[in-house]
A = this chain, B = another copy of it.
Amino acid sequence: MAHSSKIFCCFSFLFSTLSIIPLSHQLEQHPLDSLTPIEFIRVQAIVNQSHPTTTNDITFQYIGLNEPDKQALISWLQNHRTTPITAPPPRQAFVIARINHQTHELVVDLLYDNIVSDHIHHGFGYPLLTFEEQNGASQLVFNHAPFLAALNKRGLKVEEVICETFAIGWFGETKQNGRVVKVMCYYLDGTVNLYMRPIEAITVTVDLEAMKITHFRDRLVVPVPKAAGTDYRESEQKEPFGPELKGITVVQPDGPSFIIDGSRVRWANWDFHLSFDARVGPVVSLASIYDTEKQEFRRVMYRGFVSELFVPYMDLTEEWYYRTFFDAGEYGYGLCAVPLEPLRDCPANAVYMGAYVAAQNGMPIEMPNVFCIFERNAGDVMWRHTETMIPPDLITEVRPDMSLVVRMVSTVGNYDYINDWEFKQIGSIKVTVGLTGLLEVRGSKYTHKDQIDEEVYGTLLAENTLGAYHDHFITYHLDLDVDGKVIGRL
């Protein structure tokens, strides 16, 4: 097996050949729609023209919709229903690009094909990491003699080593560090579960701008946990197996009850807009619910998305202390979305949708099947009552509970986040994040808990394997505007 370059997350090696849809065939664009492939290409061209690549070193760290002003959009949507000729709010892209090693925040107008603003960011904080630079950084070790010597010292085969880039956090330094990552490596050799086989005690620091290793230290040799029993693939499991369950599936003989019209989703009494962003993943906008008595839609939420996933580790050792990941802001909750596995990630009645993000060169990348939408029939009851007090009949009225789920899975390294937006007929929106995947573990010299006489910042789970103490904090941006001023369905 060839040693792998680091792509911290996402299936970027599955890049599809891009098929550009002619504008004329597109449905009417909604002002909150994600950028289209053509728009990504235009944004890239406009930025490149304004900063010619012959004289500039340009990387696109983020391209997404520059969200229109809320009030302007609401006014337009309301007027648009009666006066469809009114111009929509300006269609703009927000771009974060590194141009000659500076972070530019640009707003690009897609009607006039020009740059509306170009601001250089001098403060703390760095843009999203691109796949390409993470890839580049984690490849460097394979040409770094001290690293190869460190592998040799441990008796590890270089072709079984996989490396990742880790954001370094911020600990109150007043001097800016520049764009720096650490590279951490894992070992395969008999398993695909690399996360269970960390190669500990080696620190590799990479300056992303120079794309060079600026610091290397091999502190001590810690045993790499064994491969046996770590492979999670069904095909690799051995007897004894647990009891097999008989088949079970959900059936909708007349098809689904939801309608997907471009980015608009309608189901039961719900209507909402769904888009996708490289940084935050799914964005639900303009969620409204139809009031059958008033015969009008009533606003519930203007815009909602996961704004950040903060994952700090509580380990003070030299190779772990800095691990305080912002999975959205550093790696991209949307960028790390993975293709959903039909019949497993989502039930048989699910419909799948793709999305686009920008590559480092600004060109669109198609991400197939990042969303699934399905009606959830969990066997729950929405409302019921049995009335025993009025003989001779027993009155039993039961309304089964159905809901609509929009799901995305984002795999940030070892962790898989299952992100659900669930719309219920009673008028509530339920947000859920399921956390699964593989536990982040630290290699250790210990093989039994009784040997441990120091703080190891974790729990011994198996020989040489500590489950590392950490938290997952998920924050949401929820702009609720229940019964906000509304004239009909937006």
A interface list, Cβ under 8 A from B: 1-2, 4, 6-7, 9-14, 162, 164, 188, 192, 194, 232-234, 240-257, 268-269, 290, 292-293, 295, 338-339, 341, 343-347, 349-350, 374-381, 383-392, 394-400, 402, 405, 409, 411, 414, 416, 418, 425, 434, 436-438
CA distance A385 to B195 in the complex (A): 12
Question: Measured between alpha carbons, how far is A249 from B10 in the docked complex, in Å?
Answer: 34
- Name which of A4, A14, A250, A437 has the most chain B CB atoms within 10 A of its CB: A250
Given contacts A248-B251, A379-B250, contact A411 B390 (CB under 8 A): no
Q: A347-B377, A384-B437, A391-B4 known; A398 and B341 CB under 8 Å? A: yes
**Residue in contact with A394 in the complex, picked from B11, B194, B251, B292, CB distance below 8 Å:** B11
Give the one of A253, A290, A381 with max B CB within 10 A: A381
Known: A347-B379, A388-B411. 9 other contacts (CB 8 A): A7-B388, A10-B388, A12-B388, A232-B397, A242-B292, A243-B290, A384-B436, A385-B416, A386-B411
> Do A194 and B400 contact each other (CB < 8 Å), given the known contacts A240-B292, A252-B247, A292-B242?
no
Query: Are the CB atoms of A389 and B164 closer together than 8 Å?
Result: yes
Given contacts A251-B248, A390-B162, contact A379 B385 (CB under 8 A): no
A378 — nearest CB in chain B belongs to which residue? B378
Whether B254 and A246, one on each chain, are in contact in the complex, defined by CB atoms closer than 8 angstroms, is yes
User: Copies per complex?
Assistant: 2
CA distance A341 to B400 in the complex (A): 10
- Contact in complex: A389, B243 (CB < 8 Å): no
Q: With a CB–CB cut-off of 8 A, which chain B residues contact A2? A: 391
Q: Which residue of B lies closest to A295 (CB)?
A: B240
A1 contacts across to B, CB distance below 8 A: 390
Please determine whether A247 and B254 come into contact, CB atoms closer than 8 angstroms: yes
Query: Closest approach, in angstroms, between the C-beta of A231 and any C-beta of chain B?
Result: 10
Contact check, B250 vs A246: say whether CB atoms are below 8 A apart.
no
A6: chain B residues at CB < 8 Å are 389
A437 / chain B contacts, CB cutoff of 8 Å: 384-385
A146–chain B nearest beta-carbon distance, Å: 23
In the complex, 6 of the A-B residue pairs with CB atoms within 8 angstroms, ordered by the A residue number, are A194-B390, A246-B254, A246-B255, A344-B384, A347-B400, A374-B379
For A343, A387, A392, the residue with the greatest tally of chain B CB atoms inside 10 Å of its CB is A387
What is the CA–CA distance of A359 and B293 in the complex, to the nearest angstrom? 46
A331 to chain B, nearest CB (A): 12
Chain B proximity of A336: nearest CB distance (Å)? 9
Shortest A28–chain B CB gap in Å is 23
The complex places the Cα of A374 from the Cα of B380 at a distance, in Å, of: 11
Do residues A251 and B254 form an inter-chain contact, with CB atoms below 8 A? no
Find the B residue at minimum CB distance from A12: B388
A251 to chain B: which residues have CB within 8 Å? 248-251
Known: A240-B295, A248-B375, A377-B248. A4 touches B347 (CB 8 A): no
| A249→B250 contact, CB < 8 A | yes
B9→A388 contact, CB < 8 A: yes
Question: Nearest residue in B to A254 (C-beta to C-beta)?
Answer: B246
Q: Are A192 and B375 in contact (CB under 8 A)?
A: no
Specify which chain B residues have a CB less than 8 angstroms from the CB of A245 in the assembled complex.
257, 268, 375, 402
What CA separation (Å) do A414 and B383 show in the bound complex?
12
**CA A436 to CA B251, docked complex, whole Å:** 27
Chain B residues near A194: list those with CB within 8 A. Answer: 387, 389-390
Question: Which 8 A-B residue pairings sit nearest by Cβ, starting from the closest?
Answer: A378-B378, A344-B398, A338-B386, A347-B379, A246-B254, A245-B257, A386-B411, A246-B257
Closest to A379 in B: B347
Task: Name the distance in Å between A255's Cβ and chain B's nearest Cβ.
Answer: 6
- Set B7, B241, B269, B349: member contacting A389, Cβ < 8 A: B7
Query: How far apart are the CA atoms of A350 and B380 in the complex, in Å?
Result: 12
A377-B249 contact in complex given A234-B397, A389-B162, C-beta closer than 8 Å: yes
B13 touches A384 (CB 8 A): no
Q: Are A383 and B247 neighbours in the complex by a CB distance under 8 Å?
A: no
Closest to A252 in B: B248
Provide the bound-state CA to CA distance between A242 and B267, in Å: 11
A358 to chain B, nearest CB (A): 18
A315 to chain B, nearest CB (A): 22
**Across-interface contacts of A380 in B (CB, < 8 A):** 434
Choose from B254, B390, B395 the contact partner of A4 (Cβ within 8 Å).
Answer: B390
Chain B residue nearest to A2 (CB atoms) is: B391
Q: Whole-angstrom distance between the alpha carbons of A6 and B389 in the complex?
A: 7
Chain B, Cβ-Cβ closest to A432:
B380
